[in-house]
Amino acid sequence: MDFDLSDDQKMLVKTVSDFGKKESTVERFRKLRDDAEGIGWDRATWKKMGELGWLSIPFPEEAGGLGGSFVDAALILEQLGKTLVPEPYLASVVLGGHALWLGGSAEQHEQLLQPMMEGDTTLALAYAEPGIRFDPRCCATTAKREGDGWRLEGEKAFVQNGHAADHLVIAAMSDEGMQLFVVDGADVKRRTTKHIDGHRGAHVDLAGVVVPESRRLVARPATEVLERVLDFGAAATVAEGLGVAFSMLWMTVEYLKTREQFDVKIGTFQALQHRAVEMFVEVELLKSINVESMIRASEEGPERPAAISAAKLQLAQGGQLVSRQAIQLHGGVGVTDEHDVGLYFKRMHALVTLCGDEAAHVARYAES
Amino acid sequence: MDLSFSAEDEAFRTEVRTWIADNMPPHLAAKAEAAGHFEMPEIMEWHRLLYSKGWVAPHWPKEFGGPGLSATQRFILSEEQELAGAPPLSPFGLVMVAPLIMRFGTDEQKQRFLPKILSGEEVWCQGYSEPGAGSDLASLRTSAVLDGDHFVLNGQKTWTTYAQYADWIFCLVRTSAEGKKQQGISFLLIDMKTPGVEVKPMQTLGHTPAFCDTFFENARVPKENLLGPLNGGWSLAKALLGHERTLVAAVGQTRRTLRLARRIAEHQRGADGKPLIEAPHWREKLARLEMRLRAHQMTNYRALVEQQKGHHPGPESSILKLVGSILVQEADELCMELMGEASLSWHDEGAVAPFEQWVGPAFCYDRATTIYAGSNEIQKNIIAKLILGLPSS
Ligand SMILES: Cc1cc2nc3c(=O)[nH]c(=O)nc-3n(C[C@H](O)[C@H](O)[C@H](O)COP(=O)(O)OP(=O)(O)OC[C@H]3O[C@@H](n4cnc5c(N)ncnc54)[C@H](O)[C@@H]3O)c2cc1C
């Protein structure tokens, strides 16, 4: 076993971390969040991420990528999580991007994946549906052959980056089983939704949308693609969640060292020291299982879902212990919108929920 | 031992239930039905309706306009309101400052303040906490210096809930720097319209403007607004704490949230297309919380019976605060889990069912329940010291 990063990976981590510290602090996220007219993130920053290779790094060279792996994407996400960088890395690179890569043809890679990797477009994956719990195998949206194309029917809900994405990958059920299609954002009825973590998404109404056959993803069976992509997605929520939890832990430790009550630093109270230790231990467990989940995310076979579901459980239990205690130990100031700790708390909830929540992953693990 | 309510109590319950059904205005009833969030003007509207029925201050003695209900009936009254989803009344006047005015106030103060608290004509807020004085309240620094017939106030209070709607604020202020910190504190009643008082609302984690910073700059407060003895404010504050903690047992709130959870579980479907409530996993999660709540509720009943015998709430009330605040949070968390991806929705009408609208903001705001009214860590310190008799470090 070897848990060391390569020199290239160390460089990558440092670059992304510096970017967070210097160019994309929580303050930037807050401004973008509070701009009611905006999309919640910034296209110029996205373009820059493309130029730095962050958007193409996990994809193989045949698909136009830099030939890294999912581990590189996870390393990036962990750093982005530390300062709540709002650009849609998870939605576009991990979900939309991996669906196109695994499901798409060389031509589709060139037309739809390439511009995203360069930072010119963004993607989204529409899997969740209103009122139905997460399950990659389940889908009420339908696709029927019509002429040379397919007619879609149904609704997708809380599509991450769905409001801004140039292209959306849509899961739909046909007579021949699950299918994946790529539609242009401009061609669907979408309503921007506001999310708890200050991000935005879309409610997508597919009624009457007709997609040409050339926009169907057929390189692999759609169920297989979707299952693998949602596992990449789940592993991505864990990687980003690690960054989020890390920041909250150290922000809280710092607060315990500075806040005074009863004429002493509150960090001198043993009850609070123990609480901080519990937070620390949970972050360490999360760090460990994140290693397994980000490596196994690219594997085939039963160890992949097992590791990823275990990581999601740790995020739900450990990550949320951290986010809840972080608020608690900040006292009243933790319950204001003004303090950053609450922004992290909310992002943690979103990450726990996306790509299968605790219940979904425990059930999958138990049944396998 | 007897677990049953008397026939009289049951009749009272029916009377309350019927009155609420007949008298809650449609716009409040619609919000109650949708498990919505009430802002202060709606809360005061309900206050005035209850006042007209004589039920707004069930715990007040008859001589000050209370209805003379038994402790059990008082409990029934508040439980029925919470179950109906009625706006939760603002406690600052009715539950907090009024009992202190009754106990420590002069006759003039009683006549001046109590009737308007009862009628809802004057709204109150609580000015205890300061940026540097939270758990360690006694270290507060807002100063009140006597100058002729007035105290001159300078300093800052913070987390003052709904100060932007308040006509009056009751404050703990420093009137002496001598002796122990607790000894130089006085209890003042302050008109919010006094020049030099400024209120700045803040957003909470639930994105509601529920609390404020309140500033005092050379604000002149008449001497007659001192409640209790000069430099004797700390004992007034302590007398209030027990009351505040029984308030946060929040049995009704948790019961209501669990009913909401059941409703969400009937509405949200699993991947098999069936409502979640049909799945053992979710039914059992809901059951667990309902079962814990029963133990909490019985603890609350025990405290109520003690109060009925005339005992003031003692350190045991810390148990109610400790357990009640956590149950509120766990019920919120269950609602969020049941909603799955829909729990991402945030102040976004139409994205989820109407009764699911406020689940996210409540989940966020209610992180405060373990912090306010004496944080849970402080409650544990109290239990350790005053009930278990453990030595202090
Ligand atoms: C939503 C909300 C509404 C509020 N409304 C009002 C209001 O209307 N009026 C008002 O006056 N105040 C109000 N408060 C303030 C509230 O009473 C304080 O937030 C509370 O007393 C804690 O103080 P603090 O925020 O300064 O936290 P701190 O006292 O700084 O505490 C920080 C952390 O340290 C812990 N801690 C502190 N001392 C100890 C110890 N000795 N041992 C172990 N742990 C300890 C605390 O439990 C907490 O986890 C409100 C607060 C909130 C969140």
What pLDDT does A138 receive? 83
What pLDDT does B36 receive? 86
What pLDDT does B246 receive? 63
Considering the domain boundaries, does residue B307 fall inside one? yes
What pLDDT does B250 receive? 87
Q: Which one, of B300, B313, B304, B324, lies nearest residue B250 by Cα?
A: B324
What pLDDT does B245 receive? 62
Measured over the CA atoms of residue A173, residue A175, residue A177 and residue A179, the dihedral's sign is negative
B89, B109, B133: which is the final residue of a domain? B89
Whether the Cβ atoms of residue A143 and residue A70 lie closer than 8 Å to each other = no
**Judgement on whether residues B229 and B270 belong to the same structural domain of the protein:** no
Whether the Cβ atoms of residue A308 and residue A231 lie closer than 8 Å to each other = yes
- For residue B272, the chain A residue with the least C-alpha distance is A138
**What CATH number should be reported for the domain holding residue B11?**
1.10.540.10
Q: Indicate the average pLDDT of chain A.
A: 97
Considering the domain boundaries, does residue B310 fall inside one? yes
What pLDDT does B315 receive? 82
Question: Residues B355-390: pLDDT tens digits?
Answer: 999 999 999 999 999 999 899 999 999 999 999 999
Asked whether the predicted pLDDT for residue B182 surpasses 90, the reply is yes
Q: Which two tokens stand for residue B321?
A: 């605060």
Distance CA A143, CA A218 (A): 14
**Judgement on whether residues B170 and B227 belong to the same structural domain of the protein:** yes
**What CATH number should be reported for the domain holding residue B370?**
1.20.140.10
B184, B205, B233: which is the final residue of a domain? B233
* % residues pLDDT > 70 (chain B): 98
**Judgement on whether residues B81 and B143 belong to the same structural domain of the protein:** no
A225 Rama sector, left if φ>0, alpha if ψ -120 to 50, beta otherwise: alpha
What pLDDT does A357 receive? 97
What pLDDT does A344 receive? 98
**Judgement on whether residues B356 and B327 belong to the same structural domain of the protein:** yes
Burial profile A311-332: b = 16 or more Cβ within 10 angstroms, e = fewer: bbbbbbebbbbbbbbbbbbbbb
Do B344 and A133 count as a contact with CB atoms less than 8 A apart?
no
Catalytic positions of B are: 244
The total number of structural domains that make up chain B: 3
Q: Which of B42-46, B128-132, B157-161, B317-321 has the lowest mean pLDDT?
A: B317-321
Q: Tell me whether residue B285 is exposed, middle or buried, using C-beta atoms within 10 angstroms of its C-beta: 0 to 12, 13 to 18, 19 or more.
A: buried
**Judgement on whether residues B383 and B322 belong to the same structural domain of the protein:** yes
What pLDDT does B301 receive? 83
- What does DSSP assign to residue A21? I
**Judgement on whether residues B299 and B196 belong to the same structural domain of the protein:** no
Helices (H) and strands (E) in chain A, counts: 13, 11
CA distances from B197 to A68, A124, A276, B156 (A): 61, 51, 39, 10
**What CATH number should be reported for the domain holding residue B226?**
2.40.110.10
The SS3 assignment for A93 reads helix
**CA-based max dimension of chain A:** 78
Contacts of B348 (CB under 8 A, 6+ apart): A193, A194
What pLDDT does B126 receive? 97
What pLDDT does B59 receive? 85
What pLDDT does B313 receive? 72
Q: Which one, of B214, B216, B210, B190, lies nearest residue B200 by Cα?
A: B214
Considering the domain boundaries, does residue B54 fall inside one? yes
Which residues 312-331 of A are in CB contact (within 8 Å) with B? 324, 327-328, 331
| Helices within A19-105 (DSSP H only) | 26-34, 43-51, 70-82, 98-103
Considering the domain boundaries, does residue B197 fall inside one? yes
Domain that holds residue B43: 7-89
**Judgement on whether residues B148 and B186 belong to the same structural domain of the protein:** yes
Q: Tell me whether residue B337 is exposed, middle or buried, using C-beta atoms within 10 angstroms of its C-beta: 0 to 12, 13 to 18, 19 or more.
A: buried
Which residues in chain A are closer than 8 Å to B340, comparing Cβ atoms? 128, 133-134, 353, 357
CA distances from A25 to A30, A87, A106, A339, B241 (A): 9, 12, 38, 14, 41
Q: Is the ipTM of this complex over 0.90?
A: yes
Considering the domain boundaries, does residue B174 fall inside one? yes
Considering the domain boundaries, does residue B184 fall inside one? yes
Asked whether the predicted pLDDT for residue B52 surpasses 90, the reply is yes
Average pLDDT across each block of 10 residues of chain A; the chain has 368 residues. List them in order: 93 98 98 96 98 98 97 98 98 98 98 98 96 87 96 97 98 96 97 97 96 97 97 98 98 98 98 98 98 97 97 98 98 97 98 97 95
Which pTM does this prediction carry?
0.97
Q: Which two tokens stand for residue A101?
A: 């890569």
What pLDDT does A149 receive? 96
Distance CA B360, CA B343 (A): 6
B210, B233, B256: which is the final residue of a domain? B233
Q: Could you tell me the domains of chain A?
A: 7-122 (1.10.540.10), 125-219 (2.40.110.10), 223-367 (1.20.140.10)
**Judgement on whether residues B55 and B153 belong to the same structural domain of the protein:** no
Whether the Cβ atoms of residue B80 and residue B24 lie closer than 8 Å to each other = no
Considering the domain boundaries, does residue B112 fall inside one? no
Question: Residues B95-140: pLDDT tens digits?
Answer: 999 999 999 999 999 999 999 999 999 999 999 999 999 999 999 9
**Judgement on whether residues B178 and B212 belong to the same structural domain of the protein:** yes
| B108 φ, ψ (degrees, to nearest 5) | -60, -45
| A302 φ, ψ (degrees, to nearest 5) | -70, -20
Distance CA A25, CA A6 (A): 27
Q: Indicate the average pLDDT of chain B.
A: 93
**Judgement on whether residues B303 and B375 belong to the same structural domain of the protein:** yes
Q: Which two tokens stand for residue A137?
A: 């195998």
| A130 CB within 8 Å of a chain B CB | yes
**Judgement on whether residues B282 and B318 belong to the same structural domain of the protein:** yes
Question: Residues B253-290: pLDDT tens digits?
Answer: 899 999 999 999 999 999 888 999 999 999 999 999 99
Q: Which two tokens stand for residue B134?
A: 């939270």
Confidence of residue B242 (pLDDT cuts 50, 70, 90): low
CA count, 13 A, side-chain hemisphere, A187: 17
pLDDT higher for B292 or A132?
A: B292
What pLDDT does B195 receive? 98
- State if residue B371 touches ligand 1 by the CB under 6 angstroms criterion: yes
Do A262 and B207 count as a contact with CB atoms less than 8 A apart?
no
Considering the domain boundaries, does residue B1 fall inside one? no
**Judgement on whether residues B226 and B345 belong to the same structural domain of the protein:** no
Which residues 62-121 of A are in CB contact (within 8 Å) with B? none
